[in-house]
Homo-oligomer: A and B are copies of this chain.
Amino acid sequence: MEILHITSRRDPRVKSAAALRDSPVQRRKDGLFLCEGARLCEDAARSGVKIRACFFTRKAQEKYGRYLEEIGRVSPEGYLVEEPVAKLISSTKNYQGVFCLCESPQMPGSSSEERPLRKSSCVVLENLQDPGNLGGVLRTAEALGVEQIFLLGDCCDPFSPKALRSSMGAAFRLELRRAEDAGALCKGLKKEGFALLAAVPDHTAKKITELPLSARLCAVFIGNEGNGLEKETISLCGERVTIPMPGRAESLNALAAATILIWEMQRKEGKADEGF
């Protein structure tokens, strides 16, 4: 890694890093994102994310040398930056002073012609808007052994600073796929043998505790924080499932609800040999 020194906050590379942090449009346009934090940058390096450059402070060099070494092996350029520069590009108050400029991993579409679908139960997130929720769901999915996630409709960017932080790097390791069209996605999944389950807060739907979720190849569809799934998506799925709540109904937040759905999909019969 070649190391250059950046002292000015007006340096174009600094400005561009700050723009990538703030703007989903910029990230899409450039095909790049900014990753912050020693552990998260190391995760990116280990997961095969293409790193273009690493920014770090002198303090970070002392404190996170072990991480920077690993990052340095795959980053062609390194920028030693002054504290005010680090402060400018950080999205947290207590920054560690380690940042990577990364190429956004390619997110294939939902068609199996584009890339064969994995034949294991998966999650479809539709219009999920909060980056903390999206990141949290990715983290949970990874922990519980889900490998493939579809982002349907207008989901927030999984490579925004907050989503990355909440996902603890899960976004680098999961197979994330974009799906513009619910119809095409559902058709493709059905063709491959997936049972499509629309999660709805409605006590007339089938209780997830009554379904042998883990015995089937499932795709669980989870909707927007406030409005749930689109009506059309629900009818495309065919099967409606709900989380029984003996206490106060309709009162789980998006992450808690997704966690229970993923857990039920992954936990049951015959999985003892897979870690359950």
A-to-B contact residues, CB < 8 Å = 136, 139-146, 166, 168, 170, 173, 207, 209, 244-249, 251-253, 255-256, 259-260, 263, 266-267, 271, 274-276
Contact = CB atoms under 8 A, between A and B. Distances in A.
A120 B267 CA distance: 25
B251 A142 contact: yes
A275 B246 contact: yes
Contacts of A276: 207, 209, 244, 246
Contacts of A142: 247-248, 251
A122 B266 CA distance: 25
A207 B276 CA distance: 8
Given A140-B252, A260-B259, A145 B275 contact: no
Contacts of A266: 246
Nearest to A268: B209
A210 to B, nearest CB: 9
10 contacts: A139-B252, A142-B247, A142-B251, A145-B247, A170-B251, A209-B267, A246-B275, A255-B256, A256-B256, A263-B263
